[in-house]
Structure 1
């Protein structure tokens, strides 16, 4: 824990594989005991949903954490990162193109999203402490939070596992206290002023599901955090502890956010929550928001640095962390200084799901087809004619599945700046997640079978 991790995408030797799958629970719980969950839960009520409808969407949308858990099981088998394992889906060269989007741009966007949440809270605390409310202070807070996050990513896996176990407990305690104050203020008989019915209700439920599902679908990095487990670790245990560690806090605190919106104006989540907290506890809450962001983005930056190496950029893992950090910091500065926070949240979540949903479907389908039999040394071979070179470096089944899945998702998404033609034809019903994932999985399965490009184990 006391030394920066220098290992990148190279194989983890058996002598360094320790621990049991259950430690993944705390690793995934810490980033999901989240202020952002409060904000997202509140946004569901702002969409016009009733409390039971919002909780129903939260329970179902978060079930997609099962996908994150399933692909985590490939980490110990392959002994390398998820960004290398995905060469099996897309081919050596095709994988590089995919990672530029999923491993760099989307990772940087999630860094910016979470840093925005922490920065809003940190800026408020700084102003309350007497600092001027200006762009210079805003930029300083953002850079300070980004720097602390990148330090976690630089120290890497051992630090994440040990530190997150303690932080998951600390954050849970603080957020349970916040939950107590929310429950005391909640309007359990809440009903929207203008209840939604018919097509309008279905449309709102579709958008809400997409927003909730976008978080678990974005975590294709779960093999990175399981690859240090012993090779014989049970796949079901890895999948279960990963999914459960993320699912439980996500459901609980997103539901609390929805409850808060029954009596508070959650268009400004921080101000709303602070209005019901005692003055002495507000700094504790704000610092917990910042710490939660460090846990979330530390994990994201760690995996993004591995993706940079997998693309073929000749750079060590630690400098790669700094590269992704600069990109994410720039996007955060734009989001905070140009956009408002809640607009940034909903816009980004609805945008990235058109890519992350189909990508997750391809990964899960490939794992099921291979029965989770991945050969790490062969995956690391990049020479022409290698086992995952396929045709000119591209696995046609994977690239076709991803592109058709993204196209289907775009046709069915409803966002602030784009409504797909199929979504428009159905009155704005957002089916981006099920359509994109179903099409991607079906195309990958049928095409890979037809080409015999995924061998049957």
Structure 2
């Protein structure tokens, strides 16, 4: 690659240095590449320290696994955050957002399809965050002695939704500063809860959990955790690493991202696994967070749920921020704050339906993870392969990211083929694949299929090209 083709800061963003929010999907100026890998640790620790991790632990056990199988499934599932680590390294090299970097493999127009799906995924996650935050706030009110019911839920939704939108307007640097303190506070509270549960747990009942099938129990549990963690967040890795200092090492970025996510997630899922001994139906409970609050003594439940609510606010803001960047990557020209406000209105509508009409949270949530997971896994396979094959050392060019590159059809077909392959062997709850039989019946192994198929097909297209 010649120096003429390499990305130039002045070409993309001009000589003035706007704030990171005002940049949109433009290149981060070299003067603003000042962050260190340690800051990414707090970003991803805060993004994954929500109380939903406790529910993940209960979901793992619901696959009929023993204590040790459940713990291993949690660890292996969280290892999927390696995908986020790689996309974060790409962000430091490319100095722009993840779905803008994705243009290099799909073409500018061809990238609209996966970007649109990634935006839908982030909107779904934002709705999950709003619903989880509302249920957590309602559980907090219950722990304080207020009656549970529709009115309490409605007030909680209004307060949490308003708080999320307000915090999202403060700017990324302010939110990241808040995250550091929230991470420390909720992390300390979670550690105390784990110690309490370990001291009061019925270890005979926990250790007596029978071992489940490694094929039809363990692997599906791993895929659900991977879909909800690394695969879902892979589309946002570069969004928070694009201002990393040129001196930041690849290993440092990777370790900070994966370690920051794994530490809280494994601790939270361990909490959920322990809780299932005392709340066997936790994974199917209408409000699992309320059930958790009732199990803990009030002196512990109140500060824990308060810290959890604050943590979910910052997680929700991260999703809103990345979703608004995806709109810009699709060519929808909106101011950053306008895009955030639009996204907020849409997800509030979804939250209203789930909370007050359907009344079922975990069922649609798992179906959402499986359905979105097959498309995101296919995209991640192509993105990771493209990065290591073409850009790890050479970087990205101005033309690849911002030129009128049209559609790179072979890549788009690889993504579609991989996604459809995954759907064909998946039961998502609203789309049942014709080949979802045998080991694929009632499982989420389609995520692995979509990832492998897309990666193999894309490697073939690269060799032929």
Indicate whether the TM-score tops 0.5. yes
Show the counterpart of 2:407.
394
- What secondary structure does 1:275 align onto? helix
Gaps of 5+ in 2: 1-18
Q: Alpha carbons of 1:190 and 1:416: their partners in 2 closer, same or farther (altered >3 Å)?
A: farther
Show the counterpart of 1:454.
none
Instruction: Measure, in 1, the Cα distance between the counterparts of 2:377 and 2:250.
Output: 22
Q: Alpha carbons of 1:85 and 1:4: their partners in 2 closer, same or farther (altered >3 Å)?
A: closer
**2:355 counterpart of 1:336:** yes
Instruction: Measure, in 1, the Cα distance between the counterparts of 2:169 and 2:21.
Output: 6
- When structure 1 is superposed on structure 2, of 87-96 and 336-345 the one drifting more is 336-345
| Superposition map of 1:5-404 within 5 A | 5-102=21-118, 104-126=119-141, 135=150, 137-190=152-205, 195=210, 202-214=215-227, 215-219=229-233, 220-265=235-280, 266=282, 267-268=284-285, 269-337=288-356, 338-372=358-392, 373-375=394-396, 377-383=398-404, 389=405, 393-404=406-417
TM-score normalised by structure 1 residue count: 0.89
- Residue 74 of structure 2 contacts residue 222 of structure 2 at CA under 8 Å; is this kept in 1? yes
- What secondary structure does 2:109 align onto? helix
**Per-residue displacement from partner, 1:311-342 (whole Å, max 9, x unpaired)?**
11121111011111111111111121223222
Instruction: Measure, in 1, the Cα distance between the counterparts of 2:407 and 2:128.
Output: 32
Instruction: Measure, in 1, the Cα distance between the counterparts of 2:397 and 2:318.
Output: 22
- Residue 8 of structure 1 contacts residue 306 of structure 1 at CA under 8 Å; is this kept in 2? yes
**Per-residue displacement from partner, 1:65-85 (whole Å, max 9, x unpaired)?**
111101111112211111211
Instruction: Measure, in 2, the Cα distance between the counterparts of 1:128 and 1:197.
Output: 36
Show the counterpart of 1:433.
447
Q: Alpha carbons of 1:346 and 1:185: their partners in 2 closer, same or farther (altered >3 Å)?
A: farther
- Residue 113 of structure 1 contacts residue 344 of structure 1 at CA under 8 Å; is this kept in 2? no
Instruction: Measure, in 1, the Cα distance between the counterparts of 2:307 and 2:259.
Output: 22
Gaps of 5+ in 1: 384-388, 452-457
The CA deviation at 1:258 is 0.8
- When structure 1 is superposed on structure 2, of 121-130 and 321-330 the one drifting more is 121-130
TM-score normalised by structure 2 residue count: 0.88
The CA deviation at 1:112 is 0.9
The CA deviation at 1:381 is 2.3
- When structure 1 is superposed on structure 2, of 311-320 and 226-235 the one drifting more is 226-235
- Residue 95 of structure 2 contacts residue 243 of structure 2 at CA under 8 Å; is this kept in 1? yes
- What secondary structure does 1:426 align onto? helix
Q: Alpha carbons of 1:382 and 1:149: their partners in 2 closer, same or farther (altered >3 Å)?
A: farther
Instruction: Measure, in 2, the Cα distance between the counterparts of 1:194 and 1:179.
Output: 19
The CA deviation at 1:50 is 1.3
The CA deviation at 1:365 is 0.7
Instruction: Measure, in 2, the Cα distance between the counterparts of 1:113 and 1:345.
Output: 8
- Residue 121 of structure 1 contacts residue 286 of structure 1 at CA under 8 Å; is this kept in 2? yes
The CA deviation at 1:9 is 1.1
- When structure 1 is superposed on structure 2, of 367-376 and 177-186 the one drifting more is 367-376
- What secondary structure does 2:273 align onto? helix
Instruction: Measure, in 2, the Cα distance between the counterparts of 1:376 and 1:323.
Output: 32
- Residue 65 of structure 2 contacts residue 211 of structure 2 at CA under 8 Å; is this kept in 1? yes
**Per-residue displacement from partner, 1:282-319 (whole Å, max 9, x unpaired)?**
22122122112112111111111111111111211110
Q: Alpha carbons of 1:363 and 1:154: their partners in 2 closer, same or farther (altered >3 Å)?
A: farther
